[in-house]
Amino acid sequence: MSWKKVKLGSILTESKVASEFPDTNKRIKVRLKVLGVEKRGIENEVEGATKQFVRKAGQFIYGKQNFHKGAFGIVPKELDGFESSSDLPAFDVDKSCLPEFLFYFFKQGNYYLELSKIASGVATQRINTSQLFDLEIPLPEIEIQKTLLKNIKILENNGGEISSELIHQLELIKQLRQAFLREAMQGKLVKSTNTKETGQQLLTKIKAEKAQLIAEKKLKKEKELSPIIEDEIPFDIPEHWAWCRFGEMSINCDGARKPISQTERQHKDKIYNYYGASGIIDKIDGFTHHGKFLLIGEDGANLIAKSTPIAFIAEGKFWVNNHAHVLDFIDDITKIFMTYCLNTIDIKPFISGGFQPKLNQANLNLMQIPLPPLHEQEQIVAKLEDLMAFCEDLELSIKESQGYNEMLLQQVLREALQGNTVINE
């Protein structure tokens, strides 16, 4: 097998054809993480040097400041004649080397990350053309390059199909998790062992205990909530369950919340968790709450997207800012049941605001909540915890397969492009 070591300076010639009539609508940019070369938006046309150079299809191009971050590629046909500054130099490639071979050499095994070792500069790390020209690569004969590239694309296509299938499997697990949660909230996940106890009895007990707390001045008197009418009921539940307003069966503890700016927190000892709308965002030297509580995001895009849970449990001593509601309940099992419930039901009708979605306390209290008796809540929570753990194990296995698939592909490419092995036709 005929391979030789060559310096890039012997096969690359920098293109320095200046644009006679620079056009801000014909600019090139090179994306990070090997995401390719594309047209640059007009609003971003200024990049370092103002002089522009004409680029041709098939040229190798890279970003001086970001080569080691994956900013390199081949100029595609549709961008032939477009321009870039000297910060994005482009090169004609000698006929002894296919431009795509050079591209894959830097891509394989994320080899481009190793270029950070030669990047120079204080304020910004750059790789200049002289440093690029000094790099050596193993270069086979042109026919071997063609064979390698052909088989690399087959490998990438196969790897892409596997990756797509794994992504599809992750989506199916997400759907399975939601199906389990929906069935749980509709009373279909477990069969009750005692239908003599009812959700209405539990609600009556909760109201009585809240009234006692109000009488003892441990809880402020709350605004009476309107009864739920038939048109408000979103789905059917077992007859021995009850529909109630969230405010009827919860104890709001928002009064103790207190926001602390990031600047202030920088000077605090990092002892207790500091919570925001989506969970822990910092640590601080004090706490606003002590015990076990249900926290619910009050604002932010996550209320709509639900990319992370909007409801979660916080325990011990912790601090909460004004971006999360703090709720307590008569029984701990209800806290956990309500965590699952609020992450399952549709809360969009109770969200106000456009650009900044908000779930205020008044709307939170109005939510319609399915309430099973306590013993059934325990059954549901136990079953859900088993099913969620099962889903998490499946997800972990698939993510490990994704990592292994990518690692194997990169290893094969590295071995092939370093001249250590050949991928046969």
pLDDT by residue (tens digit) across 210-239? 999 999 998 988 888 999 999 999 999 999
pLDDT number for residue 149 = 85
Do 170 and 285 fall into the same domain? no
Mean pLDDT of 353-370: 92
Reduced to 3 states (helix: H, G, I; strand: E, B; else coil), residue 216 is coil
- In a domain, residue 286? The reply is yes
**Residues 416-419: contacts with CB under 8 Å, at least 24 apart:** 416/108, 416/148, 416/151, 416/152, 417/101, 417/104, 417/105, 417/108, 417/138, 417/148, 418/138, 419/1, 419/3, 419/138, 419/140
418 or 330, higher pLDDT: 330
Which residues, at least 6 apart from 30, have a Cβ–Cβ distance to it below 8 Å?
A: 36, 37, 61, 62, 63, 66, 71, 72, 73, 88
Task: Indicate if 245 and 390 belong to the same structural domain.
Answer: no
The confidence score (pLDDT) of residue 151 equals 81
| pLDDT for position 287 | 96
Contacts of 124 (CB under 8 A, 6+ apart): 65
Average pLDDT on 77-85 reads 95
Tell me the C-alpha distance between 399 and 385, whole Å: 21
Residue 287 and residue 319: Cα distance in Å, rounded? 4
Confidence check: pLDDT of 329 > 80: yes
Residue 57 lies in a domain: yes
Q: Are residues 290 and 162 in the same domain?
A: no
How many structural domains is the chain composed of?
A: 3
Is pLDDT at 411 greater than 60 in this prediction? Answer: yes
Are 230 and 357 found together in one domain? yes
Asked whether residue 209 is assigned to any structural domain, the reply reads yes
Choosing from 139, 162, 185, the residue where a domain stops is 139
Give yes or no: residues 130 and 159 share one domain.
Answer: no
How many helices and strands, by DSSP H and E, does the chain display?
10, 18
pLDDT at 48: 45
Residue 1 has pLDDT above 70, yes or no: no
Read off the pLDDT band of 375 (50, 70, 90): very high
> Given 335, 353, 372, which residue is the final one in a domain?
372
Is the per-residue pLDDT at 3 higher than 90? no
**What is the pLDDT, as a whole number, of residue 150?**
85
Backbone Cα Rg of the chain: 30
> Which of 7, 48, 2 is closest to 27 using CA atoms?
48
Better-scored residue on pLDDT, 191 or 157: 191
**pLDDT for residue 416:** 66
Tell me: pLDDT of 273 over 70. yes
CB atoms within 10 A of CB 417: 26
Domain that holds residue 110: 3-139
User: pLDDT at position 47, please?
Assistant: 46
* CATH number of domain containing 227: 3.90.220.20
What are the percentages of helix, strand and coil residues in the chain, rounded to 5?
40, 20, 40
Q: Are residues 217 and 233 in the same domain?
A: yes
Query: In this structure, are strands 53-54 and 272-276 parallel, antiparallel, or unpaired?
Result: unpaired
203 and 186 fall within a common domain: no
Together in a domain, 228 and 352: yes
Task: Report residue 162 as tokens.
Answer: 């596997």
* Claim to verify: residue 170 and residue 319 sit in the same structural domain: no
Q: pLDDT value at position 318?
A: 97
The whole-number pLDDT of residue 423 equals 46
The predicted structure's pLDDT at residue 418: 65
Is 425 inside a domain boundary?
Answer: no
In a domain, 380, yes or no: yes
Query: What's the pLDDT at 425?
Result: 46
My answer on whether 283 and 389 are in the same domain is no
**424 inside domain:** no
162 pLDDT band, cuts 50/70/90, is confident
Reply yes or no on whether the pLDDT at 420 is more than 60: no
Please indicate, yes or no, if residue 408 is contained in any of the structural domains: yes
Lowest mean pLDDT among 32-46, 93-107, 190-204, 246-260: 32-46
Cα dihedral 181, 186, 189, 193, rounded to 10, equals 140
The neighbour count for residue 263, using CB atoms within 10 Å, is 7
Please tell me the predicted confidence (pLDDT) of residue 196: 87
Helices 332-342 and 374-417 sit at what angle, rounded to 10 degrees?
50
CB-CB contact of 78 with 40 (8 Å): no
pLDDT: which is higher, 21 or 424 = 21
Q: CB under 8 Å to 319, separation ≥6 — which residues? A: 258, 260, 272, 273, 274, 275, 284, 286, 287, 288, 289
Q: Which conformational region is residue 221 in: left (phi greater than 0), alpha (psi within -120 to 50 degrees), or beta?
A: beta
Same domain, 37 and 146: no
355 Cβ neighbours under 8 A, 6+ residues apart: none
Do residues 241 and 202 lie in contact, with contact meaning Cβ atoms separated by under 8 Å? no
In this predicted structure, the answer to whether residue 330 has a pLDDT above a threshold of 80 is yes
Residue 232 lies in a domain: yes
Looking at the structure, tell me whether residues 336 and 295 fall in a common domain.
Answer: yes
Q: What is the mean pLDDT of the segment spanning 66-91? A: 95
